Structure 1
Amino acid sequence: MFRPPYYHVPQELCDEVIDYLWDDVPTLQACAVACHGWVWRAQRHIFRSVAINNAARFERFSRLIKTKPRIATYVRVLTIAKARRSKTKLDRAWPELLQTLRGVEDLTLGRWVEVFSMQEVFKQNLPALFQRIRVLRLTNTSVGDVADLVCLLSACSAMHTLHLDNTRMVWPNWDQVDSIPSVDSPQLHTLSLTPTHAVPITDIWAEGLIRATIRRLELELITPDLFLSCRPVLRAMENTLEELVISVTGTKLRRRPLSGTLPPMKRLRRIHLRVKMLDAKQPIPRQYEWMLGFLRLLRIWESNSHLSEVVLSWRTSDLASMKTSPPWDEFDFGMAKLAKANDKLRFTLNVLDDTGIQNQWIYMVGLGLHAFPSLRKLRTTLAVNMGSSWDEHETFGGSLRNPKQWAFHFDPQTVSVPKV
């Protein structure tokens, strides 16, 4: 009886193939049940990121890692949130779960999770719980008072990125602030804040309660007016800040232009003005007039000659839905004034195509050559990127995923030729 030859594929090659599928969860799940030799490699990617958003999922995952402890070593990204405000077992037991998952480096404590509702034994063991955390996100959650938040951040000795998104806390009386000890966070260099009128989260840095070398700062504002309250934070970081991302999520426009000046910030090289590109709850069209106010601030800023790049991010659905034509003349004027003061400045336009434009070439060349006539008369570079998907984590502040790119090198003595 003829038997076909048996070919053995080395396990190393199988592992390489499975690693290539790291973000294709359905295929990884199929690999995990295909054969015994593929199970552990596929599970390593399947359980790399775990999201727990209710008590039922918490119970199922807790039972899973008790029966298969190996899975606990695969988790690197953990998200814990609740669907309701009511108290559940998750409020008391999530520190115990975090203690079991020793490999977690990216932790998100989300909606309705009260950080300091944990038992006293875990409060005393905060450094052991958070010593491996490199990225910490506190989103729509309560952190107690300022002293509790400072205590939590001091326990994250390896943290380099911190996101505070609508974080609720109790701010003490001014005579009690001096009694709160300041802490050093030497690894922290990236900070994202969502300041509000009710919770002055920026005061933690303005008062020097957290000493860190912040090089990248993102401010998500409900209204442009809130930027005025963020200036003390910028002053506290003026000797270290290199990148600044500003986004305005609200629809209420400021009647009067932003006044005042920016701190020197002589190390600042890149500014990114954008809306929340992936937030479906925001109304369409989103407002972009607030960007003009920040361009005016940059125009009179004493250190604008140190800038190397200004990034503006828009959406095609917003541009198409505006009742009036976009204020290209004002953008052209503001960008031209900046380019005149700094001939090394580069402008980048990110356009998220969520309307399915057929002929992108005509659209983008028109945007690059006709919308900015004053800019064309100066020596500068305009890069236009257009893509159908947005990646929040590829670069600081987000960027388009696999965009089509056009570069316009403007020079009064030569003709601008777009390069794809």
Structure 2
Amino acid sequence: MRRPRLSRVLGSFRRIVARVAHGPRGRWRTPKVTPVPADTRRGLPQLPLDVLESVIGYLWNDHRTLAACALACRAFLPVVRHIIFNNVRLTHAPGFSEYCRFTKLLQDSPRVALSVRSLHISLDAALERATLPKALPRLHEIESLTINFGGGMFEMDEDTREKLPTYFRLVKYLRIENVRFDGTDLLRVLCACPELRGLSLVAVRWRRSSLLPAFTPDLAAIVPPRQVELDELTLKSPPPQVVAWLVKGPFRLALRNLELLWDGGSDAKYVPSLFRAGGQSLQHLTLAFPGWFSFKDAVDLSSNTRLRALHLSHICIDGSQPRLLYVPDPVPLKTYEWVPAALARLHSMHLAQVHFSIELVKGGDLGVLDWDAIDAHLSRLAREAGGLVTTFHVGNSDYSGKRYNVVDAVMYRLPRLRAVEGRVGVVYTHRPKVEECWFP
């Protein structure tokens, strides 16, 4: 097949252009130009920054679209950077280290550090020693910090100890998990947070001789540069030295929220002091004493007269747990005495909710609780407060179901509470079934 000549191809192209470009009389048409507004020539109309933040904020969980916005307009970049890096979660473990990649990002783009407000770091104790991450001084805008040390022994070198005030300059909420301390490093870390408002210590151990008193002169000598006032405190099986230092030390405890989990592994001598320190400022309280010993003397809520919500948690009723402890004579266990004791001395006209979290394990029976005392105290609180909402969340982890109706069993044991003003609710969870009942 012969190829068309170049002259023929060019001629055909000229004819097509002539049909499109020439007018009906064969004359060349001058394209009509629409005048462009001055604002459009200068660029997009300028919108207030708060409007841009509100519009882009709807894409907070779509990082791909946020990245496209950052590339589309330079004005979007600070807003997108603030959304993506506002809450950062990092893991530092063998074979997978988000922390190392993040530190490299901080070196390449230092402005990222200005957007980080909340940081959660999980460290693996097998990878390196448990110490403060070196990247913290660069992240000087952090307000909420969580460090999980993976159960290692905390070690702080002299260089870190000297630069400690630069690590937590604006931290308001600090959470420390799974770590063992030796010496006074923990208290020095707390004193290095001048803006601290909320503190959480979860599975924190202190290697210190049990023969020494809980509050010694070396602990009393550790004070922050200025007074720190705590309004939120979470303690889960804390060392008694830490509790004694918080109660007697330089911190001012104006607690609004208190969450206390005490497993009986340490002395509860200073627990009543926490309730007294909260006083009338305490509004939300969560208690749990899952041990074999009696803690009824430690639970004194008589000074918390403005309490609004009370949560009695981790009430684990184990059917395989013995009722008697042989030491060497049989002694009845007083595991659940703290439940009615938490209600006995409480007087609050602002109380709006009381919540019970009960877990039945291995055929546990609800009858082990002192329901007569619980019903008497709850009915009194309902009359004093008026409109009290009481809820019982009962869970059953056994595969075999209970022989009796748990919802009716709880309601049957609360005749006085059902007779006063307020609401009573029972939620029984036995997967895959969930039963719920409210009165009235």
TM-score (norm 2): 0.65
Q: How do residues 101-140 of structure 1 correspond to structure 2 at under 5 angstroms?
A: 101-112=139-150, 117-140=155-178
Residue in 2 aligned with 1:344? 384
Cα distance 1:344–1:368, how it changes in 2: closer, same or farther (>3 A)?
Answer: farther
Runs of at least 5 residues in structure 2 that lack an aligned partner in the other structure: 1-19, 21-39, 322-332, 398-404, 430-435
> Which structure 2 residues correspond to residues 404-419 of structure 1 after superposition, within 5 A?
408=439, 416=440
Matched residue, 1:49 = 87
RMSD between superposed Cα atoms in Å: 4.6
Provide closer, same or farther for how the CA distance between residues 188 and 228 of structure 1 changes in structure 2, counting only shifts above 3 A. Answer: closer
User: Who is 2:10 aligned against?
Assistant: none
Residue 107 of structure 1 aligns with an amino acid whose one-letter code is: L
User: In the superposition, relative to structure 1, how do residues 376 and 350 fare at CA in structure 2: closer, same or farther (>3 Å)?
Assistant: closer
Aligned match of 2:235: 193
The structure with the larger Rg is 2
Can you list the C-alpha shifts for 1:200-255, whole angstroms capped at 9, x where unaligned? Answer: 4322124335333233221112249965662343344446544321134x5x544x
User: 2 CA distance for matches of 1:167 and 1:260?
Assistant: 21
Would you tell me which structure has more strand in proportion to its own residues?
A: 2
The answer to whether the Cα contact below 8 Å between 2:234 and 2:259 also exists between their aligned partners in 1 is: yes
The aligned counterpart of 1:167 is: 204
Change (3 A) 1:123 1:310: same
Shift of 1:132: 0.3
Q: Is 2:274 the counterpart of 1:233?
A: yes
1:32-82, Cα deviation, whole Å (9 max, x unpaired): 246533655444322222222216322211111211223222211112232
* Distance change >3 Å, CA 306–CA 75, structure 1 → 2: same
Contact 1:295–1:335 (CA under 8 A) maintained in structure 2 = no
Q: TM-score, normalised by structure 1?
A: 0.68
Who is 1:296 aligned against? 340
2:252 is the alignment partner of 1:211: yes
**Residue number in structure 2 paired with 1:312:** 355
Sequence identity percentage: 20
Deviations 1:133-188 (A, max 9, x none): 01001111244423x33332222111110011122334484453475244564432
Give the counterpart letter for 1:28 in structure 2. Answer: H
Q: 1:17 to 1:275 in 2, by over 3 A?
A: farther
What do residues 90-146 of structure 1 show as CA deviations (whole Å, max 9, x unaligned)? 847x23x11111211111121248797444344233333212001001111244423
Give the corresponding residue for 1:413.
none
Secondary structure class of the residue paired with 1:136:
strand
- The CA deviation string for residues 273-305 of structure 1, in whole angstroms up to 9 with x for no partner, is 1239xxxxx999999x9995334214432x435
Q: Give the Cα separation in 1 of the matches to 2:390 and 2:338.
A: 16
- The alpha-carbon distance between structure 1 residues 213 and 66, as it changes in their structure 2 partners (threshold 3 A), is same
Aligned position for 1:398: none
- Helix, strand or coil at the partner of 1:152: helix
Kept in 2: contact 1:242–1:268 (CA 8 A): yes
Partner of 2:54: 16
Aligned partners of 1:162 and 1:190 also within 8 Å: yes
Distance change (3 Å), C-alpha of 1:284 and 1:18: farther
How far residue 30 of structure 1 moved from its aligned partner, in angstroms, is 4.0
